[in-house]
Chains A and B, each alone.
Chain A
Amino acid sequence: MAASTIAPDYYLLLSLALFTIGVIGVLTRRNVIVVLMSIELILNAVNINLVAFSRYWGSVDGQVFAIFVITDAAAEAAVGLGIILAFFRNRETVLADEMDMLKW
Chain B
Amino acid sequence: MSLDKILFCFFAALAVGSAVLMVTRRNIVHSAVFLITTLLATAGIFLQLGAEFLFVVQVILYVGGIMVLFVFVIMLVNLDVSLRIPQFNRQRWIAGVLALVLGAQVFLALWTGRGLLSLPPKRLAELSPRNTEAVGQALFSTYVLPLEIASVLLLVAMIGAVVMAKRRV
Contact = CB atoms under 8 A, between A and B. Distances in A.
Interface of A: 1-14, 16-25, 27-31, 33-34, 36-38, 40-41, 44, 47-48, 51-52, 54-58, 60-61, 63-64, 66-68, 70-79, 81-86, 88-89, 94-97
A14 B16 contact: yes
A83 B50 CA distance: 37
Given A10-B12, A30-B88, 6 more contacts: A2-B126, A20-B99, A27-B91, A55-B124, A63-B135, A74-B66
Interface of B: 2-5, 8, 12, 15-16, 19-20, 22-23, 28, 31-32, 35, 38-39, 42, 45-46, 48-51, 53-54, 57-58, 61-62, 65-66, 69-70, 73-74, 76-77, 79, 82, 85-92, 95-96, 98-100, 102-103, 106-107, 110-111, 114-115, 117, 121-127, 131, 134-135, 138-139, 142-143, 146, 150, 153-154, 156-158, 160-165, 167
